[in-house]
Structure 1
Amino acid sequence: MIDHVEVPTRMLVHALVREDGTVDADELYSVAALLGMSDQQVRLCIKRLVAEGAFTHQGRGRKALLHATVDTEDAFGPTADFLRHAFRQDAGLEPWDGVWHLAAFAVPESARKARDTLRDTLVHLGGAPLQNGLYVSANAWEPYVEEAAGKLGVLDALSLLSTTDLRKGGTEDPVELARRLWPQGEIADRYHRLVRVAEPRLERLAGAAELTSADLVTTAVELAAELTRAMEPDPLLPPELLPRPWPGTHARELVARCWAALYRRDHGEGTPIIFQRYADIAREAAKAHRG
C-alpha cells in the first residue's frame, strides 16, 4: 500500500512554477484533483496568493495563467542551497571542520515581532538555543543570519562568533552535544516516512506502465511535499555528528533516483522549475563525488 501524502494547496501552486515563471491553471486543477483537492479549494488559494502579491493572474478558470512575482521565484533559492549542501554531505564532500557557529542577539521588547521572527529564522536555519538570545549551528550560517537580521532591521543587535571549544553544562563531546541540542529522533522519523513514500513511487516510475503527464507531476509534487516536511526541521548536522547509518542519506538518495526516473519519463519537457533544480543538484553532487 502506498502511503498517502498530504500536500498543502499553496505548496502545490509554488511547486508547479515553470522556467518562465508561470503556472498553467489547467495543469494545476488536474493535479489538484489527483491529490484530492476540490476546485473551490484551488480557487481560494489562488485568490489568497494573488492578494498577497505572490502571483499575478491572467485569464479565467482553467484557461488562466498565473505569473510568479520576482520575490516568489527567488524564494526557491535558499531551499536549493540547503539541498545542495545536504547532497554534498551525503557524498562526503562537506567534512566537518570542528567549528561551532554562534549567533547572539539582544533585541528590545519594543521590537518584539522582529525578535521573535529572528529567533524562528535561526531555528529554521538549523540553529539550536544554548540559552536566551544565543543559538548555535554546526554549519557556517553567517550570510543567511546577517541577511535575515538586516531585513528585520536588527542587524546592529546581532553578534556572530565561532569556536572549536563548546561546552554545555558538563558536556563537551561534539557528538553528545549534537544529540542533546537537536531532536535527532524526530528528524530521523520524518526521513523514515520519506523512505516509505519514495520507495513505492520509485518502483512505479521504474516500471513499464504508461503514466500521464499529470501522474508524473503529481508524483513529483508528493515527493517534494514529503521531502520538505523532512528537511525543514533538519539542521543538516555534519555526518560526523550523526548516528550511523543516518536515514536522511538513504531517503535523499531514493528521492534523487525518483527525480532521475521522472526526468527520463518526460525527457525534461515542461518539468516544473523546482524539480529541474532539485535533479540538477543531485547530479552535481553525484558527479563531484565520482570525480
Structure 2
Amino acid sequence: MDVEVPTRTVVEALVRPDGTVDAGELYEVANALGMSDQQVRLCLKRLVAEGRFTQEGRGRRAVLRAASREAGLDVEFVRFMYRQDAGEEEWDGVWHLVAFAVPESRRRERDALRDAIVRFGGAALHGGLYASPHAWEDLVEGEASAWDVDSCVTFLTSTDLRVGGERDPVALAARLWPLDAIADRHRLLAAVAAHRLRLLRSGDLDRAGLLRVAVELAAEFTRAVEPDPLLPPELLPSPWVGTRARAAVARCWSALAERADDLPALFVAYRGIGEKDR
C-alpha cells in the first residue's frame, strides 16, 4: 500500500535529536520512497533558502542543521489526542464560542485569525462566529494578540447551543464538522498502519527500510490528524474509526522503537504515547 510522501516531509522527519540530518541517510530513505537525487537536492535548496535549514558540506556527505528543533505535530496535542481516545478527557457539555469582527482595512490579519481558528478545530456557525467543544480561549487569544486584533475578538460559552433548531450535541457535531471526510482519512490511516505493522514485525527491514516506514507513517498520520478537530468521544459515532486508527499507529511506534536505535527526534518525542491502546 503506497503512501504519498512530500520530499519536505522526509527531510523534516529525519531530523535527529541534536537538530541535524545526515544527508547520506536522507538520500537513501528518499530513494527507497521512489524520489530522485535531483528531487531531494531541489527540496534542500528551497529549505535552505527559506531559512529552515543550513547545510554544511555537499551531496551525500553533507550535514543539515534545522533552524528549529520542533518536528511534526505538537507533542502535547498528540498526548491530548490519545488521552481523549482513552476516555481520560471527558467533555463537560460546554460549547466555547469565539466571534471576531476585524475591519476590511485589516484583511490580512482577519484572514490569518480565521485560518488559525479553523486550524484549532473551530466550526463556523455564522460569519465571524465559530464554535468548539474545547476550552480554546488561550489558543485563540494568543493568535489574536500575535496579529494585534485582541480588541476585535469576543469569547462566550454556552450549554444551550442551537443551530437551526437543532440542539442535540451529537447531531450538532455531525452538522458542523465534516465527520465523513475525517473518518475516511482515518480509515486510510488504519489500513496503512496495519500494513506497516506487519512489515515492522517481519524482521526483514534494514535501517533504511525502518526509516522509510517511519516516514510513511508520519506522513499519513499528519494527513489524517491535522484537519481533525479532535471532538470528544461524546460527540462522535461509536465506535469511532479515529480511535482505532490512532491506536494502530501507536502500536507501530512501539514496534519501531523496538527495532531501531538512534531514532529521529520526531519518533523519540512520540515514543510511548498511546501505549495503553496497544
Under a length normalisation based on structure 1, what TM-score does the superposition of the two structures give?
Answer: 0.92
Q: Secondary structure at the residue paired with 1:136?
A: strand
CA distance in 1 between partners of 2:217 and 2:70 (Å): 21
Q: Deviations over 1:34-88 (max 9, x none)?
A: 1111111111111111111111111111111111113xx2464x62222111100
Pick from 198, 208, 211: which aligns with 1:214? Answer: 208
Aligned equivalent of 1:279, options 259, 271, 277 = 271
- Alpha-carbon distance, 1:238 to partner: 0.2
1:139-165 Cα offsets, whole Å, 9 max, x none, are: 111222122222222222222222212
| SS in structure 2 of the partner of residue 140 of structure 1 | coil
Among 254, 263, 280, the residue aligned to 2:257 = 263
Secondary structure, counterpart of 2:208 in structure 1: helix
Output aligned runs, 1:230-245, within 5 Å.
230-245=224-239
* 2:45 paired residue number: 47
TM-score for the superposition, normalised by structure 2? 0.96
Taking the TM superposition and a 5 Å limit, the aligned residue runs for 1:138-149 are: 138-149=133-144
The separation in 2 between residues aligned to 1:102 and 1:237, in whole angstroms, is 15
Give, as a single letter, the amino acid of the residue that structure 2 aligns with 1:15: A
Q: Could you tell me how far apart the structure 2 residues matched to 1:200 and 1:89 are?
A: 25
Task: Report the more deviating stretch, 103-112 or 146-155.
Answer: 146-155
Going by fraction, where is helix more abundant, 1 or 2?
1
Q: 1:185 to 1:106 in 2, by over 3 A?
A: same
The farther-off stretch of 272-281 and 252-261 is: 272-281
Count of matched residue pairs: 278
Match of 1:22 in 2: 20
1:151 counterpart = 2:161: no
Q: Distance in 2 between matches of 1:234 and 1:52?
A: 28
**2:86 aligned with 1:91:** yes
- Structure 1 unpaired stretches of 5+: none
Contact 2:13 2:71 (8 Å CA) reproduced: no
Mean alpha-carbon deviation: is it higher for 238-247 or for 12-21?
12-21
Q: Residue 263 of structure 1: CA displacement?
A: 0.6
SS at match of 2:273: helix
Counterpart of 2:246 in structure 1 is 252
1:66 alignment counterpart: 64
One-letter amino acid of the structure 2 residue matched with residue 112 of structure 1: R
Q: For residues 18 and 146 of structure 1, what CA distance do their matches in structure 2 show?
A: 33
Percentage identity across paired residues of the two chains: 59
- Give the alignment's Cα RMSD to 1 decimal: 1.5
Distance in 2 (alpha carbons) for counterparts of 1:183 and 1:171? 17
Q: Give the AA of the match of 2:20.
A: T
Secondary structure of 1:280's partner?
Answer: coil
Say whether the 8 Å CA contact 2:71–2:265 is kept in structure 1. Answer: no
Cα distance between partner residues in 1 of 2:19 and 2:102: 37
- Work out whether 1:228 is the aligned partner of 2:222: yes
Q: What is the CA distance between 1:18 and its match in structure 2?
A: 1.0
* Cα distance in 1 between the residues matched to 2:119 and 2:206: 36
